[in-house]
Structure 1
Amino acid sequence: MLDSPAPARKPVRVPLATEPLGVFGTLKAGRRNVLELIPEIATHAPIVSGRTGKRWHMVMDPEALKRILRDKVEDYPKSDVTKLILEPGIGKSMFVAEGQEWLWQRRAAAPVFSHRNVAALAPVMTAAADRAVARIAATMGRAVDVFDEMVTATFEVISDVTFSGGGGFDRDAIHRSIESYISQTAKVSLLDVIGAPTWLPRPSRMLAQSGVREMKRVADGAIDKRRAEGGPQIPDLLDLMMAGEDPKSGRRMTTAELRDNLLTFIVAGHETTALTLAWSLYLCAFDQSVQDKARAEAQAVLSERAATADDVMALPYIRSIVDEALRMYPPAAFLSRTAQADDALCGREVLRGDTVILPVYALHRHHKLWPDPDRFDPDRFAGGKPVERFAYLPFGDGPRICIGQNFALQEAVIILATLLSRFRFDPVQGRDPKPVMILTLRPEGGVWLKASAA
């Protein structure tokens, strides 16, 4: 009798819960890795409900997600826990604000991220890709943490397009403050688990206040200096935001509002794109046939130069790798809302005050929505194949879809294509990354690869 073939190895995956966790199990798992709160059944069921201190519902059904994110968006604002984590750092920026406060900011900022403005910022991305090539070339022959390299590249991009090269802007101070803020504020608290009132202080988040104050001080100083001295010839994000106004009310952002929104762009803009690039490189090293096909595309378009905005449309396979990496390892992999009105989702009663969770990680690996969901397959997105809209939410959806989506995708394709055209990336034995979510879905321990000349 012939032996059956061994199942194909698949990329690293989060071990989801197979038994009820209880209050203290929830706290332990949440502090270790928020995604371990998701039950395995969530990759098969449309909705999963329970009670851990307070009632909660995890929703994986695209129609129900459409209701939450678009049709009834005002009834499902960001959860109290989300606001507790984010407001100390980014205040009432459009990422956290609700209702009319959010709406006027969004209207004022929308033109900043127009196709024309995003394309005009691409030379900064191209220059960062070239510098990343030089750094990785210096590591050839030994293992390199490509996540760390991508954080460096994307932080260069976001700080340069925000504050034009950093005049009056302490890049290192901001970066240190961001890392301290994420590590100290994003861990789940027992008070969060049991649904304690938001006015009860969470000690770990209080400890992060000095780093937050420093981050705001540096940003305020850069904004005040720009107001006094003017900006560069080519407007950057700060100039565009300062010039922006709500077309209905004529309202413009104050220094504090500018700072909170710019810090949102800096925190979200570099972290999420760095993660997308690091996971994309891990997946390319995992499947060399995909990497070979991507390299052939990149070399045919680029030859020996770095990619530009004009090349993005000519790199569809590399874009499909980015899309698939965002499916398998979405940076914002676990979102939560607080119901403001009684409702029904998937035929299940939702009461005002219930926590409604959008486990994007489980949605993107749902067996009824994605064939063989744990397999890496960029061809899912090749050739403009239709994807059910609310089954794929790397940037959210509805009126609050990520305002920087096109910026992030352009940057990711430019940097990934440039790197794959120059190098072959191979895995380092015994150094698989571990997907752990603390605010974003990070590779714990880094993404260690070996680069060689392509």
Structure 2
Amino acid sequence: MTATKARIAAAVRGVRISHAIVRRGLLAGLIEAEECYGRTSSELLSFSLFGRSAYLALDPRDIGLVLHDTVSFQRDELFLKAFRDLLGFNAVSVGSEEWQVVRQRTLRFLTGKNLDGYSRIMTGVLEQRMIPEWRRKSRDGQPVDVFHDLLEYSSRVVFAAFLNVPPEDVPPHLHGMLNEMFDHVRRRVFSFVNLPIWIPTAQNRRFRELRTAVYEFIESRIAHSRGTGSMLETLVDVHSTGGRVDRQRLLEEMLGNLIGGSETTIILMLWTLYYLAAAPELQDRLYAEIAAGGPEPARNPRSLLYRCIIEALRVRSPSYVAVREAVRPVQVRGVKIIAGSHVFASQFITHNDVRVWSDPQRFDPDRFLRRLPRTASDYTDFFPFGAGRNICTGQAYAFQEAVTAVSTLIRRFRFAPAAAFDPAVRAELTLRPARQVVMRIEERPASDTARLGPAMEVPPPVAVRR
């Protein structure tokens, strides 16, 4: 092919990919690009997005180089703007000059001793609220709306943990408000046509009403935060100067943390239970491990619980795309990228790529016993929370909440689909299920531990549709 024909072919491809993204949404457009053009080459797949050069990284080596190179690449402002317009100042949308400070402040409350304290809150909310209700439904033969119940659970935990509120004092309507607000955010961030939030459309007015209500609850807790060592107390101190509190910045950062601390964990817990419900033998193996006790699974990568959660992160990572912007001309394995270019890496595409993973369409936690170690800086085939310096600050919190919830619920209940399962996704800012997830639950009798005995043999993996 001559150089001219190659340029024409690249231009046509760029137009088609851009049109697919605008017409079908970001993830669907990237999948279409990979299926049409990426199966025959491992190089960066080039296209144009709103007149700017863009690339889709498919090879894990390219993904590693881009996500770990913080000199040549930075977070892409194209998608941060919508987040900033809606939620203001927070750990996600903060400018580059303050980003590291805010990140470290947030990280302090999502790791270490604080995380241990949150685990007790998580267990308490499960034992006092969710499990009694599920026991009643199990005895009455009622199915459960798993997403709805996990949403209430996770939201109650995050309000209690970050604001230092007794869980029973968190108003029951707040979790619905937080979810409705984030629905608005999710729809807008990867949308390319948005009306400014100040325009009084019905949706914009509703968003502002919800934001005001959550702000009022946060403000009502400020006086109670003194001496607690909570995230709220720290943010009050950080945003105070000369005895005066910058309430707007305080409220914006606190709201961003509340949303960030609930959305990812809900999705991770949901998909883990979703695939376990489709695999009764795997559930029994997991129950036997949990009932037998042993090392803390969050710190034991060889435990089955750890591997089930990791495998759920592979097949249905809550985040489905990482985007970087080139801040200077750079070469990635011989491909010249000009400054200002967008580079996309999709967890959903890479984690389900047959060239990267063996039989990726199967839910198989035992693949992580067979997987060879990787050097993350030059080979990134698994990046559910991103990678490099921009990796999600909430990954330890999300994993701990998933470990706590899944182990507690599997110990108490068996799960089964209430209807035919459909793992279709709704790809907006995060990867929620496209439809309601309803399951039948059966309370486990106390005799189960003795009956199960040692862990069972590895069952066939569960089929997953992309």
* TM above 0.5: yes
Residue pair 2:73, 2:324 contacting (<8 A) in 1 also: no
Quote the residue 2:148 is aligned against. 148
Quote the residue 1:396 is aligned against. 386
Residue pair 1:335, 1:357 contacting (<8 A) in 2 also: yes
Q: Tell me the secondary structure at the aligned position of residue 371 of structure 1.
A: coil
Q: Tell me the secondary structure at the aligned position of residue 297 of structure 1.
A: helix
Quote the residue 1:182 is aligned against. 183
Please tell me whether residue 339 in structure 1 is matched to residue 326 in structure 2: yes
Identity %: 24
Please tell me whether residue 99 in structure 1 is matched to residue 96 in structure 2: yes
Q: Tell me the secondary structure at the aligned position of residue 156 of structure 2.
A: helix
Quote the residue 2:106 is aligned against. 109
Q: 1:221 aligns with which of 216, 220, 224?
A: 216
Q: 2:255 aligns with which of 259, 263, 266?
A: 263
Give how far 1:382 is off. 4.3
Give how far 1:156 is off. 1.3
**TM-score, normalization: structure 1?**
0.80
Structure with the larger RCO, 1 or 2 (CA within 8 Å, 6+ apart):
1
Quote the residue 1:119 is aligned against. 116
Q: 1:419 aligns with which of 409, 414, 436?
A: 409
Give how far 1:167 is off. 9.3
Quote the residue 1:89 is aligned against. 86
Give how far 1:241 is off. 3.7
Alpha-carbon distance between aligned partners in 1 of 2:167 and 2:409, rounded to the nearest angstrom: 25
Please tell me whether residue 358 in structure 1 is matched to residue 345 in structure 2: yes
Alpha-carbon distance between aligned partners in 2 of 1:334 and 1:32, rounded to the nearest angstrom: 8
Q: How does 1:301-340 map to 2 (within 5 A)?
A: 301=293, 312-313=298-299, 316-340=303-327
User: For residues 138 and 147 of structure 1, do their structure 2 counterparts lie closer, same or farther at Cα, with a shift above 3 Å needed?
Assistant: same
Alpha-carbon distance between aligned partners in 2 of 1:134 and 1:451, rounded to the nearest angstrom: 13
User: For residues 312 and 91 of structure 1, do their structure 2 counterparts lie closer, same or farther at Cα, with a shift above 3 Å needed?
Assistant: same
Q: Tell me the secondary structure at the aligned position of residue 432 of structure 1.
A: coil
Give how far 1:136 is off. 2.2
Q: How does 1:126-275 map to 2 (within 5 A)?
A: 126-130=123-127, 131-140=129-138, 141-163=141-163, 164-165=165-166, 172-173=173-174, 175-176=176-177, 178-183=179-184, 186-187=187-188, 191=192, 208-227=203-222, 229-231=223-225, 234-243=228-237, 254-275=246-267
Give how far 1:146 is off. 1.3
Bigger shift: residues 275-284 or 263-272: 263-272
Bigger shift: residues 116-125 or 344-353: 344-353
Alpha-carbon distance between aligned partners in 2 of 1:129 and 1:38, rounded to the nearest angstrom: 43
Aligned length: 420
User: For residues 173 and 112 of structure 1, do their structure 2 counterparts lie closer, same or farther at Cα, with a shift above 3 Å needed?
Assistant: closer
Please tell me whether residue 294 in structure 1 is matched to residue 286 in structure 2: yes
Give how far 1:181 is off. 4.7
Give how far 1:46 is off. 4.8
**TM-score, normalization: structure 2?**
0.78
Alpha-carbon distance between aligned partners in 2 of 1:262 and 1:391, rounded to the nearest angstrom: 33
Give how far 1:350 is off. 1.7
Quote the residue 2:452 is aligned against. none
Quote the residue 1:59 is aligned against. 57
Quote the residue 2:273 is aligned against. 281
Q: How does 1:20-31 map to 2 (within 5 A)?
A: 21=16, 24-30=19-25
Quote the residue 1:367 is aligned against. 354
User: For residues 60 and 255 of structure 1, do their structure 2 counterparts lie closer, same or farther at Cα, with a shift above 3 Å needed?
Assistant: farther
Give how far 1:344 is off. 2.2
Give how far 1:278 is off. 0.9
Quote the residue 1:248 is aligned against. none
Alpha-carbon distance between aligned partners in 1 of 2:62 and 2:296, rounded to the nearest angstrom: 38
Alpha-carbon distance between aligned partners in 2 of 1:260 and 1:157, rounded to the nearest angstrom: 19
Give how far 1:59 is off. 1.1
Residue pair 1:332, 1:440 contacting (<8 A) in 2 also: yes
> Counterpart of 2:135 in structure 1: which amino acid?
A
Bigger shift: residues 47-56 or 154-163: 47-56
Give how far 1:376 is off. 0.9
Alpha-carbon distance between aligned partners in 2 of 1:340 and 1:72, rounded to the nearest angstrom: 10
Residue pair 2:147, 2:270 contacting (<8 A) in 1 also: yes
Q: 1:69 aligns with which of 67, 80, 84?
A: 67
Give how far 1:329 is off. 0.4
1:36-75 per-residue CA deviation (whole Å, 9 max, x = no partner) reads: 5552365783532222543321113333333332323563
Quote the residue 2:9 is aligned against. none
Structure index of larger Rg: 2
Gaps of 5+ in 1: 1-17, 193-197, 246-251, 303-308
Alpha-carbon distance between aligned partners in 1 of 2:200 and 2:347, rounded to the nearest angstrom: 25
Quote the residue 1:14 is aligned against. none
User: For residues 203 and 283 of structure 1, do their structure 2 counterparts lie closer, same or farther at Cα, with a shift above 3 Å needed?
Assistant: farther
1:401-429 per-residue CA deviation (whole Å, 9 max, x = no partner) reads: 21121111111001000111111111234
Give how far 1:330 is off. 0.6
Gaps of 5+ in 2: 1-12, 445-466
